[in-house]
Structure 1
Amino acid sequence: MEPFPARFALVARKKTAALFQSAEGVITARDFLAAAARLAAALPAGGMVLNLCEDRLSFALGFAAAMIAGCESALSSDRSPARVRELAARLGTAAILSERPASAAPCPTITVDPSALLASTNPAGEWANPEFAGAMPAATVFTSGSTGEPVAHRKRWGALHARSYAAAMRFGLAAEAPVSLVGTVPPQHMYGFETTVLLALHCPVTSWCGPTFFPHDIAAALAAMPAPRLLVTTPLQLRALLDAGLTLPPLALVISATAPLAADLAARAEACWQTRVAEIFGATEAGSIASRITTAGEIWEAYPGLHLTADAEGVVSVAAPFAETVALADALELLAPGRFRLLGRRSDVIKLGGKRASLAALTRILTAIEGVEDGVFVAPGDLDAEPTARLLAFVVAPGREPAAILAALRREIDPIFLPRRVIPVPRLPRNEFGKLNATHLAALAGTSTSG
């Protein structure tokens, strides 16, 4: 018997369903598939395709075209020439998909022009919606590199399909009436890929394709979409949107991921927009794993169909349909079946003076201090070898003195974990997903020694 015998349609929607919407109008399932088929004709048969498209519709068309052509998509939001060359060589990439020619591309670049592809479709044409085996490798995604070099993880088509349905069940997206979704996360990120692209292909969701980086862009996108509206974002962008003080149309739900969301920030969003704020906990290697309503407490509930188990050392693994069982890098305290408390990264735990603490937990205390807009605790590289080594804390806190922040920390944490210095900075080196790269943090800590 085949390990993954099931087959799934590329688009699990009616042909007249609105999958995506842009400033130019609505893209139905029939037109989307016809445009993807036209693009697929320009792709090599089989092999790896590197999808560098920035526009969400271009990306989605590129992903669908690769599936039709029997190709696997490598998803990267790092479009630097060095990264593109490195990925092309490592993965044996046959072609690159982009809205514009890649600089010094190591393999052929195929330009994705949604307007041209859609203009060439025949509205009265045949309804061609191919099916693919659940075992088919559909995408290779990469970790953010927040803890080191980005690591590649392969995703099977069945796993992506099953996870869409799990999300639909969790967030009430299974009704006939479609939900309008505005996402601020790039589609190459696993969170953005699952929510803003795959949900549109598999569930009654219409995903916005247009600018959503700045608060005014987000507000305009939400206003262009019919109710009910779902905003998919990150803690960093959520704070920026709240601080902008813009009037938003009614929101049925806000979903946040990529970094821990402070309960007070979630409460502020709920009060301001009269909505609920949910968080997704996930990992690139496993996809979305669980969710919670942030203001309801710290307990997470796993997605339907997922199973969490812990080994003798306390390492938790997640098993999901059509996916290999994966050991998580995060430490979880398993409670009732499918419910757990998130303790932080296993590699995030430090030891000082015979005591242990999580850097993430310390950072949450830091960023909860009044006036601290952003912050992070950093462990120096010699923490294990040097008995006198101490932590550092970097803060974005205009108007607050480092001494006052240190005094507030002294009331909340064990003295052994107090930072040697609280260092004010204009901003932290976060990437487009709101994550802090380990290399950049190490460089930041290194420069602080000379100050």
Structure 2
Amino acid sequence: MKGINFNTLDKLPLISHTDLQNLFAFKNNQPITCLDFLSDVYFLAELLPKSKYIINLCEDRYKFSVLFSAALLCNRITLLPNNNSSQSLQQLQSEFTDSIIWRDNQIPDLIHQHDVNSNPLTIPSINKDQLVVILYTSGSTGKPIPWKKYWGELVQHSQLTAKALGLNLQEKLQIVTTVATQHMYGLEHAILLPMQMGYIINNLKPFFAGDLITIPSPVNYKTILFSTPLHLKLFAENSNRYPTLRLLVSATAHLTTELATSLEKKFKAILIEIYGCTEAGCIATRQTTQTNHWLLLSNYQLEQVVNNYYLLTPSLNTKKLNRIKLADHLQIIDSQHFILQGRRAENINIAGKRMSLADLNIKLNSIPGIEDGIFYCPTNKEETKRLMALVVAPTLSTSDIRKALRQMIDPVFLPRPLIKLNKLPRNDTGKLPVEAVNSILKEYTEVVENY
């Protein structure tokens, strides 16, 4: 894959497509060319208010990409909250007072006919140092934290990610995702990857694997699905028909080898798992059915300082490396490979016995009849740890679940209490924000205190 020499350019193109008549997207089964897309971008740019910040809440990925690009052209900064609750949006607007919210229904029907002869359009270039977006961590380990992203950094990272996934520039691919574009995983792969690699954005969001069969694909184009373990588990359990994919990609949580093996057989495609975070985006990849070793992206390095691990990534403007502290424990194998050993905050020590919440969650969700579940470890006033569990298991009693867990784990790790719910409050990437879990526990305060 031929890449851009980022050190010699001050500006980088908005999209990498080589011909304005090339397909850019499929919107509700309607093909959209690059010329259509740019016409819409310039049209919407004229409508943007003078506010410095644009809160882009569009769920339609085509409208999201048009608004995102129009903001780029006008040097406006896109804000992407970790959720769109009223409280979160009010807090965001109180912090960024010069901001305005845009949703799908606020954007007019697009696809404007453009007179190429009277006013030829060209692909715009953006300063690589331009601040493009501020987005937030998921809040699964505490208060959501904002991170700034610059255009050159995002373009470079898109190409590194494509290389790690074995994809080629201008390959005939369409991108389908089940995740929201307001999260780093969705922004990177549903929007930036196709824009920077010349692929097609598809705005449809499949819920079942069978839905993928109805998504149109242009002649000679293949489909890549970016999803999460939560969605992929639904695909595996609730569908009988599976399309053949070019590639299947999972991120945001641990994927079991058993589920990965099942999915590769059903979709007749390799499944690649991504390890990443909001701070850095995609960091490493692995084919889950073949290895538990993660492979770092090109030119990325790891550094261990006592029990802390840091990611070192190349900087666009200096010879210095960017240094990002990781939230996980790692076992470094060599300069490019490591084994993920779980989050530092998730390592539990009870009565001198150790286990990680990640391992406990894998065992919990392997019990037949459990549709979803997590272990959770709050602390009481004496700071002694006790485990709780939230589960979705319509056909099982709490006694059934505890009996199954006793066969798998030491009794000191049995959850007390074990709370059954109709649904866990996961966000669009399948993660559980701490605030949402604490809200559930407040509703069960009496149950918790009686244990």
When normalised by structure 1's length, the TM-score is: 0.88
Describe how 1:297-446 pairs up with structure 2 within 5 A. 297-322=291-316, 324-382=322-380, 385-386=383-384, 390-446=386-442
Deviation, 1:4, is 9.6
- Distance in 1 (CA, whole Å) between partners of 2:81 and 2:21 is 31
- Cα 1:344–1:59 change in 2 (3 A) is same
- Show the counterpart of 2:3: none
- Of stretches 187-196 and 351-360 in structure 1, the one that deviates more from structure 2 is 351-360
- Cα 1:175–1:367 change in 2 (3 A) is same
Runs (4+) of structure 1 moved beyond 6 Å?
2-5
- Show the counterpart of 1:76: 81
State yes or no: 1:257 paired with 2:251.
yes
Q: Is the 8 A contact 2:51 2:100 kept in 1?
A: no
Describe how 1:160-171 pairs up with structure 2 within 5 A. 160-171=154-165
- Show the counterpart of 1:119: 112
2:11 to 7, 10, 19: 7
- Distance in 2 (CA, whole Å) between partners of 1:4 and 1:302 is 25
Q: Percent identity?
A: 31
- Distance in 1 (CA, whole Å) between partners of 2:89 and 2:421 is 32
Q: Is the 8 A contact 1:43 1:95 kept in 2?
A: no
- Cα 1:307–1:135 change in 2 (3 A) is farther
2:241 to 223, 238, 247: 247
- Cα 1:175–1:39 change in 2 (3 A) is closer
Over the aligned positions, Cα root-mean-square deviation in angstroms equals 2.6
Q: Is the 8 A contact 1:44 1:94 kept in 2?
A: no
1:201 to 191, 195, 216: 195
Counterpart code for 1:238: L
State yes or no: 1:191 paired with 2:196.
no
- Of stretches 272-281 and 396-405 in structure 1, the one that deviates more from structure 2 is 396-405
Q: Is the 8 A contact 1:87 1:93 kept in 2?
A: no
Q: Is the 8 A contact 1:44 1:69 kept in 2?
A: no
Deviation, 1:208, is 0.5
- Show the counterpart of 2:122: 128
- DSSP-derived class of the 2:308 partner: coil
Q: Is the 8 A contact 1:292 1:301 kept in 2?
A: yes
Q: Is the 8 A contact 1:281 1:291 kept in 2?
A: yes
Counterpart code for 1:88: Q
Counterpart code for 2:358: A
- DSSP-derived class of the 2:363 partner: helix
- Distance in 2 (CA, whole Å) between partners of 1:427 and 1:157 is 38
- Cα 1:312–1:3 change in 2 (3 A) is farther
Q: Is the 8 A contact 2:208 2:239 kept in 1?
A: no
- DSSP-derived class of the 1:450 partner: helix
Deviation, 1:171, is 1.7
- Show the counterpart of 2:174: 180
- Distance in 1 (CA, whole Å) between partners of 2:163 and 2:370 is 37
1:231-282: CA deviations, max 9, x gaps? 1111111122222224232112111112211221111111222222111111
Counterpart code for 2:337: R
Deviation, 1:306, is 2.0
- Distance in 1 (CA, whole Å) between partners of 2:381 and 2:162 is 44
- Show the counterpart of 2:101: 96
- Of stretches 286-295 and 204-213 in structure 1, the one that deviates more from structure 2 is 204-213
- Show the counterpart of 1:17: 22
- Cα 1:177–1:380 change in 2 (3 A) is closer
- Of stretches 118-127 and 347-356 in structure 1, the one that deviates more from structure 2 is 118-127
Deviation, 1:122, is 3.0
- Distance in 2 (CA, whole Å) between partners of 1:83 and 1:314 is 31
Q: Is the 8 A contact 1:363 1:375 kept in 2?
A: yes
- Cα 1:204–1:193 change in 2 (3 A) is same
- Distance in 1 (CA, whole Å) between partners of 2:377 and 2:29 is 49
- Distance in 1 (CA, whole Å) between partners of 2:17 and 2:127 is 18
- Of stretches 164-173 and 26-35 in structure 1, the one that deviates more from structure 2 is 26-35
- Distance in 1 (CA, whole Å) between partners of 2:82 and 2:59 is 8
2:71 to 58, 66, 71: 66
Give the number of equivalent residue pairs. Answer: 436
The runs of 5 or more residues in structure 1 that have no matched partner are 101-110
State yes or no: 1:37 paired with 2:31.
no
